[in-house]
Each structure stands twice: as structure tokens, then as C-alpha cells.
Chain A
């Protein structure tokens, strides 16, 4: 397309419109987070005066601060759940992609059923069970449901990736004198790593994003994650709305994920679409 033509101009306008709509809410939160709480209601898109106070307030008081504990909880819970989910999913996906055994189809359909399962239906029983087992308001109490609901996604992505791996290379390496372990480590692991990494990113985002389990199965900062903590934020006094603090906290959990998503966008797109359209 030539520069300067009408089509080119229309195209450019369309692209800019898409970008503005996509970025705008983030920009608005950023703007609010930089405003002095007293001027929060001025409706200005760009703050009249910039302040970082809202960010500072979040961490005042160390572990008793509004955000530090939830932030640590979010990171640890998501990381642990992701690690376990990827290991368990990799075992299952390897078996499904490579081995012949009855029940393979049942595992895949079961995973699909769970991908559609309404989480709200498990909240009551889990709430009751976790209280009886002492898992209520603990890391484990959140990690277990995250694991369950992220496994289908991880299994589908990994099965799709593992099916593409030329497994014969493993044997070829062994024929060339590599031990089975060497063949696995030097040939299969490098081939499988991108798929595992892709699955790990998506599972991490899923855990990071969860709200329903986080507010239902926790009751204190001992295990409350950031999305849940945001919903229970209170202002400095009864009479101030915590808008600016929430905006600042929201920014802190958003920026890393956005950077992450932008760096690994190709993988994320491949992962999101791998399970869905094949076949």
C-alpha cells in the first residue's frame, strides 16, 4: 500500500483507534495513581500535579502495609501453582502425545470438561472442606484449586506442542552413541522447553488473575492475593475513598504482566490458539 493514499490513511486511523481503546483504561489508572488524592475527582486525563505518594502509602509499615504481603502472596502462590501444574501437565501430555493406552481420550475430554467447569460451583464445598482440613486462608488452599483449573489449559497446550516434536531424534541420538539420559537432556528438553514455557506463562497469568477463589478461601493478609486485597482496600480514614491507593496498587500488578505479555507475545498467541483450532 502506498503512503498518502486514502486507504493508507484509513488503515492508520483504524490502527490508532485499536491501540487507544486497548491502552486507555491502563492509562486512566496510571493517571489516577499519580494524582494527589485531593484532586482525584478533577476528571483530568493528565494529573495537574504528579505525586508518588500513593505508591509509597502502599508499602508503609513493611509487612503490615496494605500491599506488601498480598504482593508476596500473589507471586509465591502463582509461581508454586504454575510449577506444579506444568510438571503434572507435562507428564500427562507426554503420555497422551507419545504412548498408546486406553483412557487417553477420557483424560482429554475430562480436561476439556474442567476447562468449562463453573468455579463458583466448587466454592461452597471447598470453603467447608478447607475449614475442616485447616487449609482455609493458607497458600495450599489456593494453590490446589489453581492447579486444578489451570491443568486443562496446560495439558492442551503441551499435547499440541509435544505432538510436533520429532521424537525420532531421540533414537537417532542414541544410535549415534548418546546415553538415553543424554538423548533426553540434549535433544528432547531443548525441543520441549518452548512449549513448557508457553504453558507456564499462560498458567501464571491465570493464577495471577484469579479473584473468586482468592476472596472466598482467604480471610486475612496471611494468604490474600492482590486482586482480593484490592477489593478490601480501605481509605486512610473512614471518610476518604481509597481510589488513588487502589489505582497505584492496580498499576503495580499490571505493569509487570504487561511487560511480560509484550515480551512473550508470540508464545502467548501460539499457546492461546494451539488447543482451540487444531484438527
Chain B
């Protein structure tokens, strides 16, 4: 993903490199250097280091032990129920919340796009969840549902003593709800931007040809928005896959609601087992790579900006 295609290097004036072009090159590299170094320092190097750690028995509670253990840590992680349960939870939260966000985000985008009045009001309103600290949003929903401080159990049709965080699936649904509330605005804004690029004339033509609103949505809007939808889905899927804050606040991973990120955090920071934790980290990294790869290859998501450059 980080390799420049060969065509880029061969600019229009490839054969002769003038002094001016050389100077421009050097300036370009110099200007990019600080950003590139800062980005590599905290990603490339640590992931390399994580791979090294994951092949060793490093437990900070027992500093004297250690040494190279090959793939033992991966074996331990992959054969534990905890990992598979965390992976299932993460995948479940990701798929459910992204699907709900896509539908709600599309509705919001259409509302904002077609708004005859109140467009600004909706935009203002949807930016509030975006601006709120995720941890604060998680506390807000937690306190709304938690019987000790909440009001949800007082609502009609809800059991008066429902312990929302005492059961896996009710806890998961509140977690998903908090995620959806927080990130639907982002989805809606990306989709709205895609929506505004569609030429109104196409709709007029379809209307003349007798297409109704539903047909126009499925036959025109959706296909034309495919690039925007895929980009929004890619970013939200990867983001949702990292779900951590909400779970940490609401259940701390209890009631079998651990995500892979919570699992990694617990191994690394709570248990100080850098070997096992790093194996979890590397596995998460590989999964993220696979998801990104699947989007780009499988669904033909065009990487933003990439198209302009190529």
C-alpha cells in the first residue's frame, strides 16, 4: 500500500533532470521529511518491535524469564477461547453498527440534501455527537441505562429492574447504540458529500422516463454514490473494528463483551505480558490489513486522492 507506482517516477520530462527539477525534488523531500518521520516513528517502528516482542516470552512481572519462543504466543492466543470470543464480539459490533450507521447515515444525508428548510439545523444537530469525547458519550449512555442512575428502566415497556450491563447481549446492544450515535454523523456527512456530486439532470431525465422515487434511489443514487459509500464504509469499518472506549467505560470487558482491542490492552497494560499482548496486537494489525485489502480489491473501493495522483 505504501509503494509508489513506477509511473509516478517517470514524469513528463524523465530523460533530462535539470538543476531546477533537482532542487524541486530536494525541497519536496525536505518538506515531507518531518511528517514522514513522525508517522513512521510511531507506526512502522513499533509494529516491527511488536513483531519482535510477540516472538518472545516477555512478561514485565517476571523480568528474569524470557527468551525467544517462536510462534508460541500466537499459538496461545489462537487456541484461547478469549481471543475467538473477542474477535466474534468485535466483528459483531462492527458489522451491526456499520450497517445501522449506513442506513441512518443515508437517511440523514438525504434529509440534509433534500431539505427544503432546516438543513442547517440538522447539520448543527448531527455535529454534536461528532464533537463529543467518545468516553463522555459512553458515560452518558451508561448512566442512562444503568439502574443506579438511569431512567431507561423507568420507561414504559421496559422491565423496572432490567440490569442492562449484567447480560451479554443487552450490554452489547447498548455498546452498539453508543457507537452508532457517536459516528452516524460522520457517515452522514461523507454520504452527503457524495450525494451533492450527483448531477440533478440525471434525476430529471429519469423522472421524464417515468421512474418513481424508489427506482430513482436504487437505480441512480446508489450506483452513482458507490465510490462515496465504499470509502465511508471502509473508514467506518476499520474504525469500528478498533472499538475500545465505549466497552472500557460500560463493561470494562465484563459479561463477555471484550473486543480484541480490550483484550490487547488487558494483556499489555493490565497484565504487562508484552509477549502475548504483542501477539494480539500483530493479529489485529493483520486483520485490519485484510479488511482494507478486501475493500480495495474485492469491492473496488477507490482510495481517496489516489485516483487524482495516478
Contact = CB atoms under 8 A, between A and B. Distances in A.
B193 to A, nearest CB: 4
B122 interface: yes
Contacts of B281: 118, 120-124
B116 to A, nearest CB: 5
A250 interface: yes
Most chain B beta-carbon neighbours within 10 Å: one of A18, A118, A215: A118
B39 A114 contact: yes
Contact of B5 (A105, A116, A117, A216): A105
A272 B131 CA distance: 12
A15 B122 contact: yes
B194 interface: yes
B231 A277 contact: yes
A118 B305 contact: no
Contacts of A125: 45-47, 49-50, 53, 278
B143 A101 contact: no
A131 to B, nearest CB: 9
Given A22-B126, A127-B268, A277-B190, A144 B41 contact: yes
A220 interface: no
Given A216-B268, A272-B190, A101 B24 contact: yes
Contacts of A44: 151
B134 A211 contact: yes
Nearest to B232: A276
Given A116-B238, A124-B278, A125-B49, A28 B42 contact: no
B145 to A, nearest CB: 10
A117 B43 contact: yes
Given A112-B305, A124-B274, A258-B131, A26 B241 contact: no
Interface in A115-158: 115-129, 144-145, 147-149, 151-152, 155-156
B56 to A, nearest CB: 11
A201 to B, nearest CB: 10
Main secondary structure on chain B at its contact with chain A? helix
Interface in A167-210: 205, 208-209
Contacts of B285: 117-118, 121
Interface stretch (B29-37, B76-84, B202-210, B214-222): B29-37
B254 to A, nearest CB: 14
B95 interface: no
Contacts, number: 340
A31 to B, nearest CB: 9
A121 B282 contact: yes
Interface residues of B, number: 111
A243 B34 contact: no
A216 B11 contact: no
Contacts of B260: 120
A277 B25 CA distance: 28
A109 B128 contact: no
Nearest to A40: B149
B31 to A, nearest CB: 4
A277 B271 CA distance: 42
A120 B242 contact: yes
B277 A124 contact: yes
A1 B98 CA distance: 34
A279 interface: yes
Given A32-B143, A250-B136, A277-B304, A108 B309 contact: yes
B1 A109 contact: yes
A61 interface: no
A35 B112 CA distance: 36
Contacts of B139: 29, 230, 246-247, 250
A101 B136 contact: no
B143 A127 contact: no
Interface stretch (B64-72, B165-173, B243-251): B243-251
17 contacts: A18-B126, A23-B125, A25-B140, A95-B31, A105-B306, A111-B39, A118-B285, A121-B285, A122-B50, A124-B278, A128-B53, A216-B268, A257-B131, A258-B131, A262-B127, A278-B308, A279-B304
Given A11-B117, A121-B281, A277-B194, 7 more contacts: A18-B126, A21-B181, A117-B288, A120-B260, A129-B46, A216-B265, A257-B132
